[in-house]
A and B are shown apart, each in its own frame.
Chain A
Amino acid sequence: MKTKNIMYWVFIAPVLAALLIVVVVPFIWGIYYSLTEWSGDMAQTPVFTGFDNYKSLMSDPTFLSALWFTFKYAIVTVIIINVVGFSLALIVTSYIKSKNLLRTIFFMPNLIGGLILGFIWQFIFTNIFNALGELMGVEMLQGWLATPATGFWGLVILHVWQMAGYIMIIYIAYLQSIPDELLEAADMDGASYFQKLKNVVMPLVAPAFTVSMFLTLSGAFKIYDQNLSLTGGGPGGTTKMIAMDIVDTAFAMNTMGLAQAKAVIFFIIVAILSLTQVYYNKKKEVEL
């Protein structure tokens, strides 16, 4: 009995130790830090200030603007990524010859880090778009990333290009589980392609929509690398998202307590989103 217990802990210990030291302890400690004023200087002790950080965040323009920007960004990207991802999935699950090659290509950007992708697109927006704009005389294409609006859409384009292939993979998994008999039966009844799509395919892939909507939603909230390398938060901090704002508050401005308070609020937002996802998924499962 005793040896059995020891073995139990031997099996669990390595990852449990890592989890406790890397996630659990810092998480709890972080809540304490959010109630202090601290510059991050190791020699200095954090000074307990209660909820002061949280109070000052309520009227902190950088934080509120980052939060608002992130919300807008999340809503727009969730919709576009899912529409594009679903369309790509429909194309590569139809009986076309190049479907395997196309899957490989659409998924490719996901394997490359967001930092690298952001640099590539920075080049495209600042040089290629400029050149195209001059060539075709379209003023709109010039000076991308130099205004808050073009910075926003630049980030959206980059993110859609990167994530649509990932979401496509999820939709493919669900599309392939639709029984052929159902589609054949619809064919027999003389249903058009769009009728089949609306009445047979869409209802059956509804769970996939739930999964990928919330994956893209929490993904949009956590985005950092792309933000850093594409716009760097510029011009004038107008495209800075919440994750980047936290990192800057911590390591560029050395206001650790304030940064940690932002991080706690960030956690609460992401947790609510993720738990809503679990809730909806469970509800869907029950209905099925």
Chain B
Amino acid sequence: MKKKKTTGRIVLEIVGILLALLWLSPFYIMLVNAFKTKREMFENTLAPPQEPIFANFVQAFQELDFLRTFFNSFLITSLSIVCIVFFSAMAAYALSRNKSKVSGLIFFLFVASMLIPFQSVMIPLVKIFSELQSLNKWGLIFMYIGFGSGLSLFLYHGALKNIPLSLDEAAKIDGATKWQTFWHVIFPLLRPIGVTVAILNVIWIWNDFLLPSLVLGQGDETIPLKLFLFFGQYTKQWTLALAGLTISIIPVIIGYFIAQRHIIKGVSDGAVK
């Protein structure tokens, strides 16, 4: 009986590892070919490079204007996240503590907004922002707050149900205003769900392509947008293109290994709610 279990375990372990290798193989293929010359790539696509060359990386780094592109992505993502995390929490707090018809209606509006696919609002959105002269990164950040607020507010709202009203009342007796109560008592307690909100929003905002492509002008490109333009230019220069992809992925992989546990937990909490 015991023996059968160990064999089963070893088989599962091997199957798991083989699957993991299969899962990693696209990254392996991307990486090894980014270090090859065009000729070597065609002669030998699967093996590691015989003599790794870095020229592709240097050129891709320059063509992508990577420092600036990375900074654009970073600025847009982080400002959007900070606003979403704080403003959604504030709104969820007000809505959950003031149970009126208006609150119910506003909450419904946020939840219902999650049903709307981006393409359904895309055309009027671009028109409105072009009339407001706001087709730029500041306009984009504002848009992300709008699109990110539905799920974020919903998650905060759920978490606030578990924070007892007696805490609010105790703070009130101590003479705290609503504002102080929120920032000093409630918001710190919302931290775990705040991490989830931040993670879920970082994943889509950092990777979003269509919206930046409609909004951002030259010099303001985010990583996916710049990469798309870069690809259009070098369609058939695969070694160079793969080097560009590798450079773009590196920050994400580093972030993933640093915050791994939080990310997987955040995604799990966000999906199961």
Contacts and interface: CB of A to CB of B under 8 A. Distances in A.
Q: Do the two chains belong together in a single complex?
A: yes
Interface string A103-129: 111111111111111011101100110
- Counting from the closest, the 10 A-B pairs by CB-CB distance are A22-B146, A113-B207, A11-B94, A18-B146, A26-B124, A26-B121, A29-B124, A14-B87, A267-B120, A18-B145
B207 A12 contact: no
Interface stretch (B51-59, B60-68, B162-170, B244-252): B244-252
Interface stretch (A74-82, A91-99, A138-146): A91-99
B75 interface: no
A123 B29 contact: yes
A161 interface: yes
Contacts of A172: 268
Nearest to B33: A123
Given A15-B88, A106-B23, A107-B263, 10 more contacts: A12-B90, A22-B146, A26-B122, A91-B15, A102-B17, A104-B260, A108-B256, A127-B41, A165-B23, A224-B119
A16 B93 CA distance: 13
A169 interface: yes
Given A115-B207, A161-B26, A8 B98 contact: yes
B224 to A, nearest CB: 5
| Chain A interface helix/strand/loop/mixed | helix
A116 B117 contact: no
A190 B124 CA distance: 63
B262 interface: no
Nearest to B22: A161
A161 B115 contact: no
Interface in B206-253: 206-210, 214, 224, 227-228, 231, 238, 241-242, 245, 248-249, 252-253
Nearest to B150: A19
Interface residues of B, number: 89
A120 B120 contact: no
27 contacts: A11-B94, A15-B145, A15-B149, A18-B145, A22-B121, A22-B142, A22-B146, A24-B109, A26-B121, A29-B128, A91-B12, A91-B19, A102-B19, A109-B23, A109-B26, A116-B249, A117-B26, A124-B29, A170-B268, A173-B271, A193-B8, A224-B119, A229-B228, A250-B123, A251-B214, A260-B123, A266-B119
Nearest to A24: B109
Contact of B147 (A22, A107, A221, A243): A22
Nearest to A271: B115
A164 to B, nearest CB: 9
Interface residues of A, number: 90
A113 B208 contact: yes
B144 to A, nearest CB: 9
Interface in A1-26: 4, 7-8, 11-12, 14-16, 18-19, 21-26
Interface string A235-249: 000000001001100
Interface in A240-287: 243, 246-247, 250-251, 256, 259-260, 263-264, 266-267, 270-271, 274-275
Contacts of A96: 9, 12-13, 16
Contacts of B12: 91, 94, 96
